[in-house]
């Protein structure tokens, strides 16, 4: 894999450079999308492409954006880059309200903060590879003329194309042109790299080489957002974002209930309610009425059984992406165990109310069968713990 080294850049808002956030597990997202809507108007009427998108992307993440053709993937990327304007909603990148910038401000800000890689390379055919890489530096007036040339050659070296620096794009292959496009996107050392189907026109071997370059960027601290039609590549990113008809599916729901159809996931995502519990707080009380489905998005939870003599036994410790509450939903009755947040950290979950969850189970026999099997296994574990056969 290529090793790509960059200096970490920080500057104030007046220079239009992004102030880094607190990292992938921190509190402040690098990119924040709030109630983002994009609607196009044609002779046939209005066509909504993005529908009140809410999403966070953190510094140093590699996010793969997937979805069917027409789901809004490229539009979402263009919104983040400021290439296209939202109909309504907000886009914050670092401390910058991108949706409030004028066209001229956007051009300067984007040139310094965003590296954009397109599916069709978009290299200028009459310029050499080195001159193509130098263009963003020229446009933003960054570095001296000598430094621009040196930096362009260094970036071409990092994508293993330095020996072709003086060639025209037509003299190299499509995969090599894409690597030049990546070098150009990195010219001004942007903290964020956006890639729209960067492997869409490449064979699988070349696509893998290009993907390794993006992995290297992420490892060096860059935030990478890549739109792709290749689910296998997207799964290798640190996180995937699934778009269906202009709406983002909750990633934790998709992992917890993978047998739901995309339409069912859309409906379920709309019904999810976020909740937060302080460290040590009781979420479900054993013997109390149950009926909600909880998916953990951050922190840890403990499943606790009380033995006849009054001792509490921790049956399971659950982490991000795991769920609880399924026993009561599929079998009815009261809570089979107590569930509490770990005493060390707060717990964040998304919750489906019983009515919404039961409706999903009626629509998806596979999901119901899976949860019934898991519920049966958990009841056996609970009974064993209650009788002192497990600890």
Give 132-142 pLDDT, tens digit per residue. 999 999 988 88
Query: What is the C-alpha separation between 111 and 363, in angstroms, rounded?
Result: 48
Query: How far does the chain reach from its first CA to its final CA, in angstroms?
Result: 45
Judged by DSSP in three states, 294 sits in: strand
Query: What is the C-alpha separation between 282 and 341, in angstroms, rounded?
Result: 6
Query: What is the C-alpha separation between 11 and 64, in angstroms, rounded?
Result: 28
Mean pLDDT for the stretch of residues 319-339: 88
Closest-CA residue to 225 (of 70, 111, 5, 66): 66
The pLDDT of residue 293 is above 90: yes
How high is the pLDDT of residue 24? 42
Most confident of 106-110, 222-226, 248-252: 222-226
Reported as a single tens digit per residue, the pLDDT across 107-127 is: 888 888 899 988 788 899 999
Element (H, E) at 20: none
The pTM score is 0.76
Which burial class, exposed, middle or buried, applies to 312 when counting CB atoms under 10 A from its CB (0-12, 13-18, 19+)? middle
Judged by DSSP in three states, 119 sits in: coil
The pLDDT of residue 308 is above 90: no
Query: What is the C-alpha separation between 121 and 179, in angstroms, rounded?
Result: 9
Query: What is the C-alpha separation between 269 and 174, in angstroms, rounded?
Result: 39
* More confident site: 307 or 370: 370
Element (H, E) at 282: strand 282-284
Average pLDDT, the chain: 86
How high is the pLDDT of residue 295? 95
How high is the pLDDT of residue 46? 86
Contact 128, 137 (CB under 8 A): no
Domains of the chain in sequence order: 13-249 (3.40.50.300), 254-386 (2.60.120.10)
Confidence of residue 389 (pLDDT cuts 50, 70, 90): low
Confidence of residue 19 (pLDDT cuts 50, 70, 90): very low
Calculate the alpha carbon distances from 95 to 20, 32, 53, 56, 210 in Å. Answer: 9, 10, 19, 14, 30
Query: Which stretch of 66-70, 116-120, 200-204 has the lowest confidence by average pLDDT?
Result: 200-204
* Residue 130 C-alpha from the chain's centroid: 33
Judged by DSSP in three states, 36 sits in: strand
Q: Left, alpha or beta for 167 (phi > 0: left; psi -120 to 50: alpha)? A: beta
Contact 117, 182 (CB under 8 A): yes
Query: What is the C-alpha separation between 85 and 38, in angstroms, rounded?
Result: 8
How high is the pLDDT of residue 23? 41
């Amino acid at each position: 894999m290529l090793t790509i080294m960059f200096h970490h850049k920080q500057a104030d808002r007046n220079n239009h450079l992004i102030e880094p956030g607190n990292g992938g597990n921190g509190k402040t997202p690098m990119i924040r999308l709030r109630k983002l809507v994009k609607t196009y108007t044609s002779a046939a009427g209005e066509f909504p492409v993005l529908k009140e998108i809410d999403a966070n992307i953190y510094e140093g993440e590699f996010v793969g954006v997937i979805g069917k053709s027409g789901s809004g993937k490229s539009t979402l990327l263009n919104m983040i880059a400021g290439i296209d304007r939202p109909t309504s909603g907000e886009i914050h990148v670092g401390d910058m309200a991108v949706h409030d910038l004028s066209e001229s401000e956007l051009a300067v800000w984007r040139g310094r903060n965003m590296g954009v890689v397109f599916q069709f390379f978009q290299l200028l055919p009459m310029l050499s590879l080195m001159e193509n890489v130098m263009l963003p530096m020229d446009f933003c007036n960054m570095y001296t003329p000598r430094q621009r040339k040196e930096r362009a050659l260094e970036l071409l070296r990092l994508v293993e194309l330095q020996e072709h620096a003086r060639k025209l794009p037509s003299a190299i292959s499509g995969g090599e042109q894409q690597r030049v496009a990546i070098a150009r996107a990195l010219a001004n050392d942007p903290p964020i790299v956006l890639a729209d189907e960067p492997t869409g026109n490449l064979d699988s071997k070349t696509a893998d080489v290009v993907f390794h370059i993006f992995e290297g960027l992420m490892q060096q601290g860059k935030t990478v957002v890549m739109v792709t039609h290749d689910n296998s590549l997207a799964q290798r990113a640190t996180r995937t974002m699934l778009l269906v008809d202009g709406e983002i599916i909750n990633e934790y729901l998709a992992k917890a209930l993978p047998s739901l159809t995309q339409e069912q996931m859309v409906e379920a995502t709309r019904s999810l309610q976020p909740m937060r519990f302080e460290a040590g707080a009781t979420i479900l009380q054993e013997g109390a009425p149950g009926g909600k489905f909880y998916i953990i998005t951050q922190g840890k939870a403990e499943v606790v059984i009380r033995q006849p003599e009054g001792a509490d036994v921790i049956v399971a410790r659950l982490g991000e992406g795991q769920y609880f509450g399924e026993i009561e939903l599929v079998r009815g009755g009261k809570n089979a165990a107590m569930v509490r947040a770990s005493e060390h950290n707060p717990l964040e979950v998304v919750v489906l109310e019983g009515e919404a969850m039961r409706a999903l189970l009626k629509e998806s026999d596979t999901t119901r069968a899976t949860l019934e099997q898991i519920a049966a296994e958990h009841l056996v574990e609970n009974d064993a713990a209650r009788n002192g056969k497990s600890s």
